[in-house]
């Protein structure tokens, strides 16, 4: 059946349009094919040139990867297979080199693993270098060569995987150890800062004057001013103060309450307290308070002398090295310069920056024969001790011509002379034995006649002058005491003097109860809030809580 076209002119126009588009497409194809072929040839030539310069060391130059033309119609399966093998070799060589690098950085105990990884990476690199001609883009390739290359690669890859599997646990452990070391180092840094801050805070707590103690001194001083006639010294000192037949004590302190506890404890435990004489020396500022404190009660007939350092006129800067050194600008800057870094620079020896170590009250102990010229023997007591039994037995000890009777504190390698002095200094090294046993200040029995004979004060002056720049020992009174009485100290039985109640909580109560004198040396003084509660009662039971001024200042029992 014939179909009649409605609009033959329009149909002819559509056919001409499609024929024109077909002609344009064919023309474009003929124009593009030659340029694409040229680009393909140029790409292959570049690849051949690049392959010819393949380096033998895969670590310095990296792996070479083949570039492929997106319009390549044909592909060589052997070439693709060789490229894949080469990529596997490069990957495993990089892994082996990385493990070797980590092994060196972690410093593994077994250097064998480091060597094995390095050799494995080198062998893989050499294997690629040996088949360089096979990997050339322009070189002919055959299946036998590719199979040989593949067998060598498989053996080495198998060895690499086995080595990595065996070493993985070791590497994981080493990485964890390294991370733990880094953490420990960071924590140690924080701990060091915390210790420094804690030491500084502890020093402030230990050396500050509590409000109650300051209150007591002010109340006593107020009483001294209000009742001045009542506390005037007699025109003639009592003869008992210079009687060598009595038992004499020396107490040097600026702490009113602490000094009263020492006297109270000694008097209460004395069999014949009226035969005991206490020489209390303080500074001018606390003299009035001390006078009131010791004249408000009887002390069972014991004799008490209260004087100020300034009353001893021979103690001046022309005679006393410590007073002369206090006038030096360097020492004043060391002690009194108001800079935080000066106070916290050396945590271990921070306490030696306290000016009290150059206080004349601390160094009075080296002038006992001149302060009490008519006495033969005297017992020196620190203000942080408590007497627990009668001490007259000390006067019966044969001193064997020695000057200082003291309890030795050394045990093992602790508290030897080497810990107190600078034995790198030739003079110290020549004169003293670093292993010599140290002893303690706090309760020391001195034979003043032997002292004068040995000229110990002159010896003290000699060494104190040499140490003006603190090159022989740190500051304080124990090192010069150890030097001054180096060969003139008689060891006493340890039950006479038990130390450590101000820092050592592990002292047994049996040892404390058997002691004649217990010593609260350390930062935790019994009058401070930081005192150890288990030892505090040993001290507080000798505080005069019945005294009006003590009650007014709210001292805790």
State pLDDT tens for residues 496-523. Answer: 999 999 999 999 999 999 999 999 998 8
Q: What angle do CA 83, 87, 90 make, to 5 degrees?
A: 140
Counting residues of the chain whose pLDDT is more than 90, the rounded percentage is 48
Sheet with 517-519, edge to edge strand ranges: 385-387, 517-519, 497-498
Report DSSP letters for 64-111, one per residue: ------TT-----HHHHHHHHHHHHHHHHHHHHHHHHHHHHHHT-S-H
Residue 65's pLDDT is 37
**248 close to 279: Cβ distance less than 8 angstroms:** yes
Residue 66's pLDDT is 39
Query: Does 179 have pLDDT greater than 50?
Result: yes
Q: With bands split at pLDDT 50, 70 and 90, how would you rate the model's confidence at 9?
A: low
Burial class from Cβ neighbours inside 10 Å (0-12, 13-18, 19+) for residue 275 reads middle
Q: Each residue of 268-280: pLDDT tens digit?
A: 999 999 999 999 9
Q: Each residue of 62-121: pLDDT tens digit?
A: 434 334 443 343 456 777 777 787 787 777 777 777 777 766 666 544 566 667 777 777
Most confident of 80-84, 318-322, 357-361, 375-379: 375-379
**417 close to 285: Cβ distance less than 8 angstroms:** no
**553 close to 216: Cβ distance less than 8 angstroms:** yes
Compute how many other C-beta atoms are within 10 angstroms of the C-beta atom of residue 352.
Answer: 15
Instruction: For residue 277, give the 3-state DSSP assignment.
Output: strand
């Amino acid at each position: 059946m014939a179909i009649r076209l409605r609009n033959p002119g329009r149909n002819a126009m559509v056919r001409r349009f499609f024929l024109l588009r077909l002609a344009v497409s064919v023309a474009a194809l003929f124009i593009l094919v030659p340029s694409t072929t040229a680009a393909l040839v140029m790409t292959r030539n570049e690849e051949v040139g690049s392959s010819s310069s393949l380096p033998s060391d895969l670590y310095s130059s990296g792996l070479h990867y083949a570039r492929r033309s997106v319009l390549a119609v044909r592909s060589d399966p052997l070439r693709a297979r060789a490229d894949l093998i080469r990529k596997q070799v490069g990957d495993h060589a990089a892994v082996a080199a990385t493990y070797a690098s980590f092994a060196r950085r972690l410093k593994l105990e077994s250097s064998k693993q480091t060597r094995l990884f390095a050799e494995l990476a080198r062998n893989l690199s050499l294997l690629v270098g040996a088949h360089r001609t096979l990997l050339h883009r322009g070189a002919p390739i055959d299946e036998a060569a590719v199979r040989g290359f593949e067998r060598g690669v498989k053996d080495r890859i198998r060895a690499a995987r086995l080595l990595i599997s065996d070493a993985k646990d070791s590497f994981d452990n080493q990485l964890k150890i390294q991370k733990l070391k880094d953490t420990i180092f960071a924590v140690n840094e924080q701990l060091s800062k915390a210790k420094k801050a804690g030491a500084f805070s502890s020093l402030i707590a230990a050396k500050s004057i509590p409000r109650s103690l300051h209150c007591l001194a002010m109340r006593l001083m107020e009483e001294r001013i209000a009742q001045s006639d009542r506390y005037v010294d007699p025109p003639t000192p009592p003869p008992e103060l210079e009687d060598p037949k009595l038992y004499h004590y020396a107490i040097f302190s600026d702490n009113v309450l602490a000094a009263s506890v020492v006297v109270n404890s000694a008097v209460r435990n004395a069999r014949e307290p009226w035969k005991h004489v206490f020489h209390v020396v303080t500074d001018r500022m606390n003299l009035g308070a001390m006078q009131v404190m010791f004249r408000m009660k009887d002390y069972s007939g014991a004799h008490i002398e209260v004087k100020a350092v300034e009353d001893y006129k021979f103690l001046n800067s022309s005679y006393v090295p410590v007073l002369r050194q206090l006038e030096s600008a360097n020492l004043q800057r060391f002690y009194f310069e108001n800079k935080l870094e000066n106070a916290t620079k050396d945590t271990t020896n921070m306490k030696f920056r306290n000016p009290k170590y150059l206080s004349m009250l601390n160094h009075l102990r080296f002038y006992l024969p001149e302060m009490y010229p008519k006495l033969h023997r005297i017992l020196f007591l620190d203000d942080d001790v408590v007497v627990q039994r009668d001490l007259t037995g000390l006067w019966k000890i044969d001193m064997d011509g020695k000057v200082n009777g003291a309890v030795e504190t050394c045990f093992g390698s602790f508290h030897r002379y080497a810990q107190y002095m600078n034995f790198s200094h030739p003079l110290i090294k020549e004169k003293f034995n670093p292993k010599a046993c140290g002893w303690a200040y706090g309760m020391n029995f001195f034979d003043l006649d032997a002292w004068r004979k040995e000229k110990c004060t002159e010896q003290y002056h000699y060494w104190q002058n040499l140490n003006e720049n603190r090159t022989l020992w740190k500051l304080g009174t124990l090192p010069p005491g150890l030097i001054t009485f180096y060969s003139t100290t008689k060891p006493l039985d340890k039950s006479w003097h038990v130390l450590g109640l101000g820092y050592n909580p592990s002292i047994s109560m049996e040892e404390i109860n058997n002691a004649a004198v217990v010593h609260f040396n350390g930062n935790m003084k019994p009058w401070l809030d930081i005192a150890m509660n288990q030892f505090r009662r040993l001290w507080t039971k000798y505080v005069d809580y019945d005294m009006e001024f003590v009650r007014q200042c709210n001292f805790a029992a």
